[in-house]
Structure 1
């Protein structure tokens, strides 16, 4: 299993970054790095009547640095000490202007276990056109520059199949929706 035998805090800001000494099961000691960014939650809202889902884009420094177009993402945010269900409802309103009803748990994933402590609780949630009660765009003062996108479920499926949905949490959620609700897709692909 291994054990941490030393830890040096390198950076303490938006995230905490540490250098670790880890003793592997065979006794070898290696250096590893740890990004401590807490727990998070994400949701893929979908409208089964209009056959669409709601995703967002926002400027992400790594994506900008790679010179790529903005990445479509599920609504997400850090827990900040709030219960996952309550937090994702807040995020849905802030980011998407969307009121969520019942949440369907999907998984609690490790997005990047080699380096990050983050676990992300994933949910699916149905919504209707009447649940679009705000503009979204992010919380005032957080400077998120979020854009809200409703896309068809067929477009979502096509992006999954073509490998074009590149955000990991969103891909997992889209695949879960495809598996759990196959009746939502036309043509039975």
Structure 2
């Protein structure tokens, strides 16, 4: 009996080795086997599959995928003040891979945990910034690291101001999950400059800031314009 396969793991899941076995959308891919390497909190799988190359020959391949569920992120903005509201928190993976102190400035974000993306990001915005937002504006949905991580991230934007504040304090986040999150309000132009200098090094945040400059709330071009102007030098 194996936890996560035929008996529940610590999150009550079973059948984790069945995920991805029945895929039929790509005739060039035939899934042969799925092994669960780890299911402590998220799930690490090794999939064996046959792949037909462009010249017609088949090869046997293996890939590992890390499944942490899908997530959502949001850029909170105030166009009157021309500011954005971001967060700062410790990120161990960044710290062990060269970031000076692991304290990353980011847009509020979190996993869906079974909720619809819009519902999840409203929850995360309140937990991480103390602001209750209205209906968020969908921006785009992307795969952030498709070579190894299955996660799809849903991007949103919404205005904020003092009227949307429901909780004030020195720290936000869910204490039971070890979160210790501070808010960082920045002039929009300063936030863009921090991308250039490395002060903001989080991919989702950079994508949202560039969207805001190109066609979002701080754009000088008409909505949905195909004319893109560079924001990073």
Q: Does TM, scored on the shorter chain, surpass 0.5?
A: yes
1:165-184 alignment, distance < 5 Å = 165-180=200-215, 181-183=218-220
Q: 2:185 aligned with 1:158, yes or no? A: no
Offset at residue 106 of structure 1 (A): 0.8
Deviations 1:70-128 (A, max 9, x none): 22111111111111111111111111101112311111110000111100100011111
**1:103: which partner in 2?**
136
Offset at residue 67 of structure 1 (A): 4.2
**1:88: which partner in 2?**
121
**2:64: which partner in 1?**
33
**1:14: which partner in 2?**
41
Given that 1:102 and 1:126 are in contact with CA atoms closer than 8 Å, whether structure 2 keeps it comes out as: no
Tell me how far apart the structure 1 counterparts of residues 84 and 71 of structure 2 sit (CA, whole Å).
21
Larger radius of gyration: 2
Offset at residue 8 of structure 1 (A): 0.7
Offset at residue 30 of structure 1 (A): 1.6
Q: 2:32 aligned with 1:5, yes or no? A: yes
What is the aligned residue count?
185
* TM norm structure 1: 0.90
* TM norm structure 2: 0.74
Given that 1:111 and 1:118 are in contact with CA atoms closer than 8 Å, whether structure 2 keeps it comes out as: yes
**2:83: which partner in 1?**
52
Equivalent of 2:108 in 64, 75, 82: 75
Unaligned runs of 5+ in 1: 184-188
**1:186: which partner in 2?**
none
Offset at residue 45 of structure 1 (A): 0.4
Bigger RCO (CA 8 Å, 6+ sep):
1
Unaligned runs of 5+ in 2: 1-27, 221-230
Q: 2:171 aligned with 1:134, yes or no? A: no
Offset at residue 65 of structure 1 (A): 1.0
Deviations 1:114-167 (A, max 9, x none): 111100100011111222221351023121111111111111121234455321
Over aligned residues, Cα RMSD in angstroms? 1.9
Q: Which runs of 4+ in 1 moved over 6 A?
A: none
Tell me how far apart the structure 2 counterparts of residues 59 and 165 of structure 1 sit (CA, whole Å).
13
